A = this chain, B = another copy of it.
Amino acid sequence: MRKRPMTVQQLVLVADRFKVLAEPARLQLLQALMAGERTVGELTEGTGLSQANVSKHLQLLLAHGLVARRKAGLFAYYSLADESVFQLCELVCTRLETAARDRQRQLARG
């Protein structure tokens, strides 16, 4: 809980960050990178997405500072650059779980 409310500009920035995370494909990529740095090809294979698509999503994640890029030979190695993402996902996930449990309880009772 914040004392001062955020300005609209701040809210726009926060919304932008949420927008980056509001895509299953990108969450998949970030999760795949939890195991360590990966090439585009490996991520393509691991996720089942097309190479062009993976590359585009990685560009966006890179532009927003969520991943880092290392070029070596033919390959581009991507890695995580912002672990806070997983705190966010964890928070959302547990919240969704408790909400689902509450709904379940409501049904059983009502």
Contacts and interface: CB of A to CB of B under 8 A. Distances in A.
A90 B2 CA distance: 8
Interface string A78-107: 000010101111111101100100000000
A56 to B, nearest CB: 16
Q: Is the interface of A mostly helix, strand, loop or mixed?
A: helix
A99 B20 CA distance: 16
A19 interface: yes
A14 to B, nearest CB: 5
Given A2-B93, A17-B95, A18-B88, 11 more contacts: A2-B86, A5-B34, A10-B93, A13-B96, A15-B21, A17-B96, A19-B19, A19-B22, A21-B22, A87-B91, A88-B91
